Amino acid sequence: MDAQVVVITGAGSGLGASLAKRYYGLGYYVCLLGRTRTKLLKIAKSFDDRYAIYEMDVSSKSDVTKVIQAIKQEVGPIDIFINNAGVGDFDSAESISEQAVHQMIDINLKGTIFCTQEVVKDMKKRDQGCIINIISLSGKRGKINESVYSASKFGARGFTESLALELEQTNVKVFGAYMGNMKTELWEGARAEEIYMDPDDVADIIIENTRARKNISMEEIIIKNNKYK
């Protein structure tokens, strides 16, 4: 295959969908991953070719292994992998349900780890590739009513920073993206007075700052929104 391959989790909406469309426009072969096939099909309806859709639950190690292996066999080596899938349940620490706690840790943290483990081995063998972890500013500082969400994102940040150190002597790049609230399903109704960023704008910034450049390496980017109207 001539086109480079980018794989995006949580590609059915929000930032994942914006990234998928942008990479497709740049000529990449785009693999859209998510739990809901209908959402993925909706995003891909404007694509003529150079795409594939895979249903996957990032919190399931066996599911991740099966799907990533299928992509390697059916599409080819993965050049860019974007850990974008995420969920949030926002409430006071004592009010967050056990189910919500498990879901945020399983998807936001374990999902990032499982997917990375599955793709980084081949990238190291080929000595090339890029892993982009979409983390959120909640992985940089704690916020009211985001205690468990922040905990999952702080974990993803620690994993990303440690992985970058492990790969320092290779040509495999690891990148952490930390952004404020966007106009996505995740943040619907969170704070009415806050100004939300457009996921298309955020996608543009991430892509521009993670593209390969000679003698330059970006490890992270922080994208803040204007807080109030």
pLDDT, one tens digit per residue, over 19-33 is 999 999 999 999 999
Please compute the mean of the pLDDT values over residues 94-120 and round it to a whole number.
Answer: 97
List the domains of the chain with CATH numbers: 5-223 (3.40.50.720)
Check pLDDT > 80 for residue 215. no
Look over the chain and give the mean of its residue pLDDT values, rounded to a whole number.
91
Check pLDDT > 70 for residue 205. yes
Give which of 10, 115, 7 is closest to 62, Cα–Cα: 115
Q: What is the pLDDT of residue 228?
A: 44
Please compute the mean of the pLDDT values over residues 183-210 and round it to a whole number.
Answer: 75
Q: What is the pLDDT of residue 185?
A: 60
DSSP codes of every residue in the chain: --S-EEEETTTTSHHHHHHHHHHHHTT-EEEEEES-HHHHHHHHTT--SSEEEEE--TT-HHHHHHHHHHHHHHT---SEEEE-------S-GGGS-HHHHHHHIIIIIIHHHHHHHHHHHHHHHHT-EEEEEE--GGGTS--TT-HHHHHHHHHHHHHHHHHHHHTTTSSEEEEEEEE--BSSGGGTTS-TTBPPBPHHHHHHHHHHHHS-BTTB---EEEEPPP-B-
C-alpha span between 160 and 219 (Å, rounded): 9
Q: What is the pLDDT of residue 186?
A: 55
pLDDT, one tens digit per residue, over 108-129 is 999 999 999 999 999 999 999 9
Record the pTM. Answer: 0.92
Q: Which residue has the higher pLDDT, 131 or 194?
A: 131
Check pLDDT > 70 for residue 134. yes
pLDDT, one tens digit per residue, over 151-174 is 999 999 999 999 999 999 999 999
Please compute the mean of the pLDDT values over residues 175-187 and round it to a whole number.
Answer: 79
Q: What is the pLDDT of residue 69?
A: 97
Please compute the mean of the pLDDT values over residues 47-75 and round it to a whole number.
Answer: 96
**Among the listed ranges 10-14, 53-57, 208-212, which one has the minimum average pLDDT value?**
208-212
Q: What is the pLDDT of residue 193?
A: 45
Residue type, 180: G
Q: What is the pLDDT of residue 214?
A: 77
